[in-house]
Amino acid sequence: MKIWQADFYRSSQQDASGQVFWELLLCDTTRSFDYAATCPQSAANSSWVTAQIELAAGEKLPDVIQVFRPQSLSLIEAAGRNLGIRVEPTRRTLALKQWLQEKQYSLALDKPPPLPLPENLWGEQWRFATLPAGELVDMFAERPIPILHIPEFFKPINLGLASTVRVPGAIIYAGRQSMRLARWLDEARLVALNYIVGAPDGLVLEAGLVDRWIVATFADAEVADAAKVYEQRKQQCHGLHFLLVQPDDSGMTYSGFWLLRAED
């Protein structure tokens, strides 16, 4: 599968008359291919982007174009529709972001304040947990879990984690809402689950390109201490953590399991 990553955004460049330019950057996931083109703001539309993708691709168009910047998404999606290319919104565009850093372009995205999960999805209970890195994948990959996300590049062995390291995570017991919650989380495109210090403290789910959702809030000092340990363990695991949704604590039925890793 031929995967490209793309950014189309207002450039810092201006001509002598002060005209603003937009820049299109295209690369593959290893930067063995890259392509850059600029146009005046008046020409920054999906037709121009479509033509540039065709020019860059030559005889073989990419199968997928990944986009991390919300402001770029609609125009690149329109170009993708013109060319029959699937466009995937994702924060995980490492090659493109490295290129942008080399060009000293900003990667900062405006993020909205976190919103509470819809009330009809609230779980009944939740807790922090850890699982040994050496057993993490096999423990869930061999079970009939309706929604299962274990990306190859997140597997502990591929991150160089020792089998005895405890990978942190959170478990939500959602009762009758368990499958509904798991489906909603799947559609939200989970990225990371972070402990946020505040008044009260909370667990905030990073999802989509810039979405943020409040999973739980707490003022209890003991829970806050456990949350701090959770974050410390994440650092020891190169950011790796998990989220598990199940109806109850019987260990018989699971609704969804995600391996997660923070990505700005």
Q: Are 56 and 6 in contact (CB under 8 A)?
A: no
C-alpha torsion angle, residues 140, 213, 217, 132 (rounded to 10): 20
Domain 3-102, architecture per CATH: 2-Layer Sandwich (3.30)
* pLDDT (0 to 100) of residue 131: 95
Quick: pLDDT tens for 209-244.
Answer: 999 999 999 989 999 999 999 999 999 999 999 999
Separation between Cα atoms, residue 167 and residue 156, nearest integer Å:
9
**How many CB atoms within 10 Å of residue 42?**
9
Quick: pLDDT tens for 47-75.
Answer: 999 999 999 999 899 999 999 999 999 99
Quick: pLDDT tens for 150-185.
Answer: 999 899 999 999 999 999 999 999 988 999 999 999
pLDDT band for position 260 (cuts 50, 70, 90): very high
* pLDDT (0 to 100) of residue 140: 86
Which tokens sit at 84?
């029959």
Which tokens sit at 255?
């609704």
Geometric angle at alpha carbon 224, from 220 and 227, rounded to 5°: 145
Please, what is the average pLDDT of the chain? 92
* pLDDT (0 to 100) of residue 70: 95
Q: Locate tokens 């125009």: which residue?
A: 75
* pLDDT (0 to 100) of residue 86: 97
Helices 46-57 and 70-83, packing angle to 10 deg: 70
Does residue 11 register a pLDDT over 90? no
SS3 content of the chain, % helix, strand, coil (to 5): 35, 35, 30
Domain map (residue ranges) of the chain? 3-102, 115-261
* pLDDT (0 to 100) of residue 16: 67
Instruction: Note the Cα 203 to chain centre separation in Å.
Output: 16
CA distances to 111, 140, 165, 241, 261 from 134, rounded to whole Å, are 35, 12, 8, 14, 17
- 263 vs 41, more confident: 41
